[in-house]
């Protein structure tokens, strides 16, 4: 069966510091991968998605970037965090099929102080 | 660009009640409409999904009703329990670039089931 991991689970960082969040998927190959951000009490905002190694599409211009160095690894980064980067970051994987089923990881709670 | 409008924003029902959450979408790239359930501090979990060659799908106490002509779909929770208290998100498909399939999510409904 497929599983998706995210780490760290929680992170508190000062403004201006760098960021690296990691997501890995097990039990599937060549998945579509997604990064979402969820502000407190709000919906899900798609940040980046990837259909393959090194292929990244950005949905929202911002202070963040994403990379996919391996088939089942997806990384969200920032060089300098802003207060507005605080939120709950979710990674998801999906299959390239007729239907877009997406399955979410446990999330990373990021607080920028 | 897909837009998904979800209502109500919050809902409180008594145990055994039947909460109904509604979603409306603007267009479809393909037919697949999922609902997700999210507990505080956790990632959303796929709850139930409908592929609208049918107008209704039932899994346990959860039912999706779909009205393709009206571009609306809804989630019904039969015999609701306090353990159903969570935030529910609907989603509708949208076509991304580079062959990636995407979902556009509704804004979420916070459901509270009172004991």
Residues from chain B that touch A42, judged by Cβ atoms under 8 A, are 107-108
β-strand B4-7 against B10-14: which pairing, if any? unpaired
- Mutation choice for A interface testing from B102, B107, B108 by most A CBs within 10 A: B102
Residue B19 at interface with chain A, using a CB cutoff of 8 Å: no
- Tens of pLDDT, residues B60-114: 999 999 888 888 999 999 999 999 999 999 998 876 544 556 888 999 999 999 9
A to B CB pairs, distance under 8 Å:
66
Which tokens belong to B88? 């529910």
Q: Across chain A, what does the average pLDDT equal?
A: 92
Distance of alpha carbon B106 from alpha carbon B8, whole angstroms: 11
Residue A3 half-sphere exposure, CB side, CA atoms within 13 Å?
2
Using alpha carbons only, what angle is made at residue A21 by residues A19 and A26, rounded to the nearest 5 degrees? 165
- Dihedrals phi, psi of B23, to nearest 5 degrees: -140, 145
Residue B101 at interface with chain A, using a CB cutoff of 8 Å: yes
């Amino acid at each position: 069966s497929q599983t998706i991991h995210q780490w760290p689970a929680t992170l508190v960082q000062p403004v201006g510091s760098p960021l690296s969040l990691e997501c890995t998927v097990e039990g599937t190959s060549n998945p579509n991968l997604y990064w979402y951000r969820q502000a407190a009490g709000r919906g899900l905002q798609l940040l980046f998605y990837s259909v393959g190694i090194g292929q990244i599409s950005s949905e929202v211009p911002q202070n963040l970037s994403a990379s996919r160095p391996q088939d089942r690894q997806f990384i969200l980064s920032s060089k300098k965090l802003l207060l507005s980067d605080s939120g709950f970051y979710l990674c998801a994987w999906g299959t390239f099929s007729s239907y877009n089923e997406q399955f979410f990881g446990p999330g990373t709670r990021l607080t920028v102080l | 660009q897909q837009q998904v409008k979800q209502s109500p924003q919050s809902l409180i029902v008594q145990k055994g009640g039947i909460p109904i959450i509604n979603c409306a979408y603007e267009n479809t790239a393909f037919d697949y409409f999922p609902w997700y359930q999210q507990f505080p501090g956790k990632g959303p979990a796929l709850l139930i999904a409908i592929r609208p060659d049918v107008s209704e799908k039932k899994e346990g106490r959860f039912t999706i009703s779909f009205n393709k002509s009206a571009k609306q779909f809804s989630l019904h929770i039969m015999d609701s329990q306090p353990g159903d208290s969570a935030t529910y998100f609907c989603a509708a498909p949208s076509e991304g670039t580079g062959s990636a399939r995407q979902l556009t999510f509704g804004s979420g409904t916070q459901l509270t089931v009172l004991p």
